[in-house]
């Protein structure tokens, strides 16, 4: 018996990194997991690791992709118990180098897409008295230079999380967020920095972590499993830090 037997979950950005680890953890516990992302090869690879994982290729910043995803879940499973808003983009650049297009890109994915998908799936989540998990960051409360668009977007995500928890608690829906610290994923390789600048940025971040190491995606997945399990039935509106004490100061 798995902790999530007969549950249905959506995980955005499930083809890699944290999203991939959460998807696999949920599937191992018996959930049917639907992942979405823009790169079919990555999605297919994740899905090949567990028969409980299926995928939809799409860009969640596009309304039509969101509707396609929700339609797929309705047609295939007829229910939804868990929504994990994981997909995000972390631009690393100083304000002096930014354009408003950088703001648009960050907030379209990190905020607007999250809100849109939550709205579209909410009838199903309310019906199942399910769970919503939003991915935030330690940076939402512990700022650092050249991450303003990312930390600004995630600060919005944390406030959405708390407000939605208040609004939906009486209906039996729980809404929580996970605030990772520096996690060893491919996000560090897709910035606009040069290879040398990226290396320096990573070394700087690592030097600020009391545990003196980057976290692993699996360490986030463990918390994501707890939050949607019966063991967390009284955890609602929480922002759970998984950051190697990075945010403790």
Nearest Cα neighbor of 87 from 10, 29, 201, 181 is 10
Inter-residue contact 104 to 29 (CB < 8 Å): no
Inter-residue contact 152 to 103 (CB < 8 Å): no
Residue owning tokens 């696999």: 24
Residues 6+ apart with CB under 8 A from 69: 10, 34, 36, 56, 58, 60, 117
Inter-residue contact 61 to 36 (CB < 8 Å): no
Give the Cβ contact number of residue 240 at 10 Å.
19
Helix, strand or coil, per DSSP, at residue 213? coil
Taking phi over 0 as left and psi of -120 to 50 as alpha, with beta for the rest, 2 belongs to beta
Annotated catalytic residue 103: no
Helix, strand or coil, per DSSP, at residue 134? strand
Give the Cβ contact number of residue 81 at 10 Å.
21
Choice among 26, 55, 103, 150 that is catalytic? 150
Nearest Cα neighbor of 23 from 6, 46, 41 is 46
Where in the sequence numbering do the catalytic residues fall?
150
């Amino acid at each position: 018996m798995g902790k999530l037997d007969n549950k249905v979950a959506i995980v955005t950005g499930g083809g890699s990194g944290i999203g991939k680890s959460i998807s696999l953890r949920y599937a191992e516990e018996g959930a049917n997991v639907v992942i979405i992302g823009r790169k079919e090869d990555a999605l297919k690879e994740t899905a090949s690791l567990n028969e409980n994982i299926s995928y939809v290729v799409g860009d969640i910043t596009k309304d039509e992709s969101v509707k396609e995803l929700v339609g797929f879940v309705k047609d295939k499973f007829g229910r939804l118990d868990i929504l994990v808003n994981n997909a995000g983009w972390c631009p690393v650049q100083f304000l002096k180098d930014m354009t408003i297009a950088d703001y648009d890109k960050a907030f379209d994915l990190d905020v607007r897409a999250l809100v849109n998908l939550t709205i579209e799936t909410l009838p199903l989540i309310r019906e199942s008295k399910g769970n919503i998990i939003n991915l935030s960051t330690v940076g939402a409360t512990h700022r650092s230079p050249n991450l303003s668009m990312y930390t600004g977007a995630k600060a919005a995500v944390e406030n959405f999380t708390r407000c939605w928890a208040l609004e939906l608690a009486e209906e039996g829906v729980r809404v929580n967020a996970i605030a990772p610290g520096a996690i060893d994923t491919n996000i560090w390789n897709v910035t606009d920095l040069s290879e040398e600048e990226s290396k320096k940025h990573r070394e700087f971040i690592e030097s600020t972590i009391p545990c003196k190491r980057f976290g692993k995606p699996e360490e986030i997945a463990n918390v994501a499993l707890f939050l949607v399990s019966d063991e967390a039935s009284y955890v609602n509106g929480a922002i759970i830090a998984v950051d190697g004490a990075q945010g403790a100061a």
